[in-house]
Structure 1
Amino acid sequence: MALFRSSTLLPQCTSCVRRFTRQNLDAWGSQQTRTISKKAKEAERNIVVKLLKDVPRFGRAGSYVPLNPSLMRNRWFPARVADYVPATQLKQMKAQEVDMARDFSYGVRLNLEEAEEDEEDLLRRPKHYIRPIEIDLLSPERSMELLNTFVPPTIDFYRQRIEQDKEPKERYGASGAADILTAAAMGSKAKAHTDAIYGSVSTADLVATIKGALAHNDEAARVMLNEADVRFVSGHEEGDASRVKQLGTFKVEIRLPSAEEPIIRNIRIRAKESEV
């Protein structure tokens, strides 16, 4: 009777047997399985070696650290960076609970501390005092005295004279109309001054010459003279007292800022051919 009851609980047809088996397989496959992580696998593959040199992020010489076998075989052992640890010695070390962990902070912390010490040394180091350049300026009165002493009464310049057009020769046989046209053309040209020169003598030329004369004395060389401190009193064109464009002797005025009275000097402009 009991056998009959148990047999009635089992599936009778093939499709029922197949469905019953699949349910049992699904229930068994739904169970969770534990997998080993990549780091754990690498830790299992590592071997313990003895460092022969100080290695940053690993440890000091004489320390025991785990290392990848391929790295030890290809690089560290040929370079005598580390040595293998015999199995018997490794067993004794494990029994004595010797530290065989890698020191990731070794070498890095020391560098940071050294850098901090260098910065502190720079802050503590005394700074050298750089004295600013001091220029002892002369008073306007003293500068005018030096100008009056070292600038000669007459300063000579040499320029080339502009050659004047010669009078046209009388042409015989020319018609009256041609003479009228020629006279009109000549009259349209502005007749230049008989002593006109090429270029000019400007206040810049005069200042350069005066500075050359002052350079022979240490105190006079400190006189500050600009173009604005010099102007022509005579010989210049109307509205422009900074240059002269003709031969002759002219007067120039030199006055420094804050000076009470100016210095008057003669400027003599000669033709170049008169130098010989």
Structure 2
Amino acid sequence: MALFSTPKCPSCIRQLAGGAFQQIRGIKKMVKVPTVTVRLLKDVPKYGPAGTLIPVAKGRMRSIWYPQKVADYVHYTELKKIPRGEAPQRDFFFLADTVTSGKKKQKATVSLLSPTQTIAILEALLPPSLQFSSATISPTDHSLHGSVSTVDIANAIKMVSAANGEEGSRVVITPDQIELIGVEGDKIKMIGEYQFEIKMKGTNDFVRRRATVQRQEIH
């Protein structure tokens, strides 16, 4: 009966683990941010209440907090009076709920486009044809080495829309809202021109465009 023994050499262990182990050749040093001890002049969420001494990045104090009178510098003589082991500490939990709720309110103010608005924007922004290039099985074969799917078309639509300003960047389109005309399934598998329609629930309007799939040139 053959006995299995745990391999000892590093290369054998890596082979047994499928190459999952890597040798660590060095350790990166942590970058220390220079700080200064300041006194808060007002309550600051996730830092502390007014009157608290805390350490803060020198750049933040110099460029933001001091000009806006959020905090003031602490004299060296006062710092010397702080007992050892009682260094000022930032309070990460101070009014943390206020910051979280504020972010939620900001997100709630972003309005979504209705299906009718989305269709109208796409009708105005999309060119007559979206261009795709893909490798073929051979230089003389029209069959694609892979496919151009409704996922690819949806991504292309989002890129074109986002490049046309803030209104276009609000467009949300998913592959299931795209229907290829005259193609079985959701994948184009040969070079050529194909029509597709963008349809959304909540409106009878739709957008029809072409997807032009060309042979990818190999240099």
Give the structure-1-normalised TM-score. Answer: 0.39
TM-score by length of 2: 0.49
More strand by share: 2
**Bigger helix share:** 1
